[in-house]
Structure 1
Amino acid sequence: MALQKTLSLLLLSLLTLLGLGLVQPSYGQATNKKFKWQHVDSTETGGNNFYCDTMMQSRGMTRPTCKQLNTFIHENIETINNICNAPNIRCKNGRMNCHVGEVRVTGCKDTGSSPPPKCSYQATAGKKNVTIACDGNPLLPVHFDGYILP
């Protein structure tokens, strides 16, 4: 009986801390890891179709189907994380946790000319203003929301 009371108090305390925002669930960290896997390549400058074909396949975005669009950011992770410090703007899904920053990118678009897993991509490279959703404490990038068009 005493053990059940202790466990109940611990659970209540944890829920209280979560409610106050003092303990963050691992959602932000897990989605940040996925974001980095899908969108960050700080060691390359990208820019051509071969780069897109190779990266999309090596990062598992050509199975079971060819991912239609993906963007790789060619900056160090600190630069990308700092985008989360920019003022909040509305994301495409309506949430107010997006931020804008200028980074070097390679956009990869499926040409539809090759079946998975040997998908064929067309690359577009350059410096772009991008929108990134951030979550967690500290704020970390969790979703690439798109480009800011001029």
Structure 2
Amino acid sequence: RFLRQHVDSTQRGVTSSYCNTMMERRGMTRPRCKQFNTFIHADIGAINNICRTPNIRCKNGKENCHEGVVRVTGCRLTGSSWGNCRYQGRGSSRRVVIACEGNPQVPVHFDG
């Protein structure tokens, strides 16, 4: 689920048309339009490496979050009509926080 919702290593994103296409393609427009989603533009190896950084506290209070800097596209819902979700895209390189679980640890949740 984490990979489906948050990882796109093949694109650079950043445009609204990218967000409109990817949100639909990845199943985040049904049954309702998801308000906001972040796509990480790094390969899974780089994202797994974030799981190897020191643990930090997650928003839910658990201590299984980790942080790193990656290229991302944030997609924010701007409107919808007749089931057609419209998004605005914004790209940046920024700090992200992900929750990791397992042995070896793998990403399971985008925390911010």
Asked if these proteins are the same fold (TM beyond 0.5), I'd say yes
> Of Structure 1 and Structure 2, which has the larger fraction of its residues in strand?
2
Q: Which deviations, in whole Å up to 9, do the C-alpha atoms of 1:110-145 show, x marking residues without a partner?
A: 01x223642000111010100000000000000000
Moved over 4 A (4+): none
Q: Which residue of 1 aligns with 2:84?
A: 118
Aligned-pair identity (%): 62
Unaligned runs of 5+ in 2: none
Q: Distance in 1 between matches of 2:23 and 2:57?
A: 28
Aligned to 1:136: 102
Amino acid at match of 1:102: V
CA contact (8 A) 1:66 1:116 kept: no
- Which residue does 1:127 correspond to in 2? 93
Q: Quote the residue 2:45 is aligned against.
A: 78
Distance 1:120 1:37, change over 3 A: same
Deviations 1:4-51 (A, max 9, x none): xxxxxxxxxxxxxxxxxxxxxxxxxxxxxx100000000000000000
Q: Which has the larger radius of gyration?
A: 1
What is the RMSD computed on CA atoms of the aligned residues? 0.9
Question: Partner of 2:57 in structure 1?
Answer: 90
Name the SS for the 2:63 alignment partner.
Answer: coil
- Between Structure 1 and Structure 2, which shows a larger proportion of helix residues? 1
2:74 alignment counterpart? 107
Find the counterpart in structure 2 of residue 55 from structure 1. 22
What TM-score, normalized to structure 2?
0.97
Aligned residues: 112
